[in-house]
């Protein structure tokens, strides 16, 4: 009887074992129910969210705002055994980070040594409303 319970828990958590412990615990608390092959309902004890994994949308809106999977999308990704990183924006990748800083970045030097023209130094610029 004990081995059946352990096997059941292992089957449920198998897809999430490679993720951090927080996500593993969240995946245990959330229930994923497919509506069709791309739309899923993700429920926890308080609420239900609808995730369209192909359109990359979730009713919590965090997937669209952050361009990174929210907990609900992560539950669907784990449930369907997909690659989590393919659902992150390009801007979160190592390649994007390296490309952003591939050009030389020149130091600005000590501000006390800057030569600033008088007409620029004393110009007042107000913040926008």
Rounded-to-integer distance, Cα 4 and Cα 55, Å: 37
List per-residue pLDDT tens for the chain, 129 residues long.
Answer: 445 555 655 665 666 667 777 766 666 667 899 999 999 999 877 789 999 999 999 999 999 999 999 989 989 998 999 998 899 999 988 899 999 888 887 888 898 888 888 888 888 888 887
Rounded-to-integer distance, Cα 75 and Cα 40, Å: 10
Q: Helices (DSSP H) in the chain: which residue ranges? A: 2-13, 21-29, 62-66, 71-79, 94-100, 118-121
Rounded-to-integer distance, Cα 129 and Cα 112, Å: 31
Reduced to 3 states, what is the DSSP secondary structure of residue 52? strand
pTM, full prediction: 0.58
Rounded-to-integer distance, Cα 65 and Cα 40, Å: 19
């Amino acid at each position: 009887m004990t081995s059946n319970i352990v096997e059941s828990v292992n089957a449920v958590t198998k897809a999430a074992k490679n993720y951090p412990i927080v996500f593993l615990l969240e995946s245990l608390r959330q229930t994923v129910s497919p509506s069709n092959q791309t739309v899923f309902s993700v429920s926890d004890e308080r609420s239900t969210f609808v995730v369209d994994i192909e359109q990359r949308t979730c009713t919590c809106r965090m997937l669209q705002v952050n361009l990174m999977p929210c907990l609900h999308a992560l539950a669907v990704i784990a449930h369907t055994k997909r690659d989590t990183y393919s659902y992150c924006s390009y801007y979160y990748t190592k390649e994007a980070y390296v490309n952003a800083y591939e050009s030389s970045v020149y130091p600005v030097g000590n501000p006390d040594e800057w030569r600033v023209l008088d007409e620029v130094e004393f110009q007042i610029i107000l913040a926008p409303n």
